């Protein structure tokens, strides 16, 4: 098959997934509005709840709009013993394609705890610098040695509660054409050193489905990409 056509099809699948058009809805799912309240009860809810972004496209009935800081902690820190053996994730170890594995190296925590972005098993991260962002360098942190690690400072890390947010659903959103194009349009900095600014990924509306539907979406995307 023509590589460009396949890439276009994959991009379309990711976009449909975060618009609620890839799998059927189930009226018995707990509505995402209730889910958002539960997440908020579990943590200090961010002040920017209920986005007022104006003309947001309609979502399926059980879904709701939210923001990433409402459903995940941003760039959290790890507190580990210095002698803990952990993973190190350089930029070239972060995959661009959905479904491709994350690679990592092994280091002592004391050697990488300063000057790097902290990582934990299940975190979802994306590269904020050009051209890595446009190339969709992003991944779920899986297979980290002892469940922890650190990586390039050009990663933005989201840590959410897997009981509520399915990591791969968040990854699908970060790789979706809508999120990537919006980030490209908002990049700041000098040529060759442009980055997606924090205000973009903290204020971009995030389409939140019920947890059960997140699982169904991920299963369907995995199936289509297999």
The order of strands in the sheet holding 155-159 is: 73-74, 155-159, 124-127, 138-140
- 37-46, 81-90, 180-189: which range is least confident on average? 37-46
How confident is the model at residue 108, as a pLDDT? 98
pLDDT of residue 197: 97
Residue 53: the pLDDT is 55
Segment 192-213 mean pLDDT: 96
Once rounded to an integer, what is the mean pLDDT over residues 152-174?
A: 97
Strands (E), 41-154: 64-67, 73-74, 85-89, 105-108, 117-120, 124-127, 138-140, 148-151
**Residue 55, pLDDT score:** 78
- Comparing CA positions, the residue from 224, 96, 116, 103 lying closest to residue 171 is 96
Question: Residue 82, class by beta-carbon neighbours within 10 Å (0-12 exposed, 13-18 middle, 19+ buried)?
Answer: exposed
Q: Does position 51 have pLDDT exceeding 60, yes or no?
A: no
Give dist(CA 194, CA 184) in Å, integer. 9
Query: Bridge-partner residues for 124, per DSSP?
Result: 140, 158
The pLDDT value given to residue 42: 80
Residue 103 has pLDDT above 60, yes or no: yes
Q: What is the DSSP letter of 119?
A: E
Quick one: pLDDT at residue 114?
97
The confidence score (pLDDT) of residue 41 equals 85
Is 95 a residue whose pLDDT tops 50?
A: yes
Give the C-alpha separation, 100 to 22, whole Å: 21
Residue 44 has pLDDT above 80, yes or no: no
pLDDT at residue 88 tops 90: yes
**Which stretch of 2-11, 37-46, 76-85, 181-190 has the lowest confidence by average pLDDT?**
37-46
pLDDT band at 54 (very low <50, low <70, confident <90, very high): low
More confident residue, 155 or 43: 155
The alpha carbon torsion through 50, 36, 122, 198 (nearest 10 deg) reads 10
Strand locations in 11-147, DSSP E? Answer: 64-67, 73-74, 85-89, 105-108, 117-120, 124-127, 138-140
What is the structure's pLDDT at 167? Answer: 98
pLDDT of residue 47: 42
What whole-number distance in Å separates Cα of residue 68 and Cα of residue 201?
7
Which pairing describes strands 148-151 and 85-89: parallel, antiparallel, or unpaired? parallel
Q: Which residues contact 160 (CB under 8 A, 6 or more apart)?
A: 39, 71, 72, 73, 124, 167, 170
Residue-averaged pLDDT of the chain:
93
Phi, psi (rounded to 5 degrees) for 151: -150, -175
């Amino acid at each position: 098959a023509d590589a460009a056509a396949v890439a276009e099809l994959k991009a379309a699948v990711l976009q449909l997934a975060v618009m609620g058009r890839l799998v059927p809805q189930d009226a018995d799912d707990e509505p995402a509005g209730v889910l958002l309240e539960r997440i908020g009860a579990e943590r200090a809810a961010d002040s920017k709840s209920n986005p007022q972004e104006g003309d947001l496209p309609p979502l399926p009935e059980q879904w709701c709009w939210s923001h990433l800081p409402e459903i995940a902690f941003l760039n959290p820190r790890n507190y580990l013993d210095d002698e803990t053996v952990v993973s190190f994730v350089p930029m070239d170890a972060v995959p661009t394609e959905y479904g491709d594995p994350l690679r990592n190296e092994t280091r002592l925590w004391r050697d990488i705890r300063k000057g790097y972005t902290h990582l934990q098993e299940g975190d979802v991260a994306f590269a904020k610098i050009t051209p890595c962002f446009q190339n969709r360098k992003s991944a779920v942190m899986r297979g980290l040695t002892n469940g922890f690690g650190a990586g390039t400072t050009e990663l933005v890390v989201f840590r959410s509660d897997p009981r509520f947010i399915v990591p791969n659903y968040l990854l699908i959103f970060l790789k979706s054409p809508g999120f990537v194009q919006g980030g490209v349009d908002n990049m700041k900095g000098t040529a060759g050193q442009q980055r997606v600014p924090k205000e973009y990924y903290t204020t971009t509306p995030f389409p939140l489905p019920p947890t059960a539907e997140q699982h169904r979406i991920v299963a369907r995307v995995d199936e289509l990409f297999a």
